[in-house]
Amino acid sequence: MHHHIDVITLTANGEPTLYPELEQLILGIQALKTGIKLLILSNGSTISNPTIQSILVHVDIVKLSLDCATHECFKKLDRPHASIHIDAIIEGMKAFRKYYDKELVLEILIVEGLNDNPVEFRALNTVLQEIRPDRIDVGTIDRPPAYNVKGVSLQRVIELADELKGLHVNIAYKKEHAPLPRYFSKAEILGLLERRPQSFEDVQFSFDNASKDRLSQLVIDKKVGVKTVAGVDFYIKNM
């Protein structure tokens, strides 16, 4: 096996958890690898199935999609099969989280006119507080989609992510994004971190140089700590 692999990712041209030999594949990879994490990317549609849950516990990082928390939004955005219901998916995620003690990551894709509003994100926040994933990845459309839908601005992504309180949220910044650094006092930094831990990338794009210096001093003073969650580093307020 290659010596410079950090993560092996299981995905598919479709939903990987529908593969009938998934358990044998996962156990076979786990038996071969050493010091490498195994990640699976799933749309979450099968997570309410106890058999799927029992298979996924063998994976080091499980990443599931959760774009909506309401039936109306889920039906419009994800266009599920009639047999798939968002309430069952959410309950499946809650059940899976109770005994899955590895890294659970949820992904939210923001689409203009569908889930790009505070009402939907507050509903998501309520659900996410119960699921308690290790990390939440929030982004928008950045390549041609299968349907005629549009993404939102990065500023809108940041605004909506702020509705997810006290959770480790990783925003997918675009490389060409022009940073708009802001001034933060020490009190404002602590308040910000109390509402939502900030990733290193958040700080790089959002803090001006003086604010970065204040953050560094807060780390030295042990008022702020650093926590790595599923491969992403976050600044957190120490209790």
Summarize pLDDT for 195-237 with one digit per residue, the tens. 889 999 889 888 999 999 999 999 999 999 999 887 889 999 9
C-beta neighbour count of 172 within 10 angstroms: 15
Residue ranges of domains in the chain, CATH in brackets = 7-177 (3.20.20.70), 180-239 (1.10.10.10)
What is the share, in percent, of the chain residues with pLDDT greater than 90? Answer: 74
* Closest of 102, 5, 4, 85 to residue 47, by C-alpha: 85
C-beta neighbour count of 202 within 10 angstroms: 20
Where would I find the beta strands (DSSP E) of the chain? 7-10, 37-42, 61-65, 103-110, 135-140, 169-171, 198-199, 224-229, 232-237
172, HSE (Cβ side, Cα atoms, 13 Å): 14
List, for residues 30-53, the tens digit of each pLDDT value: 998 888 899 999 999 999 999 999
Tell me phi and psi for residue 133, to 5 degrees.
Answer: -70, 160
**What percentage of the chain's residues is helix, strand, coil (to nearest 5)?**
40, 20, 40
pLDDT grade, residue 14 (50/70/90)? Answer: confident
* Closest of 14, 33, 113 to residue 73, by C-alpha: 113
According to DSSP, the residues that pair with 45 across neighbouring strands are none
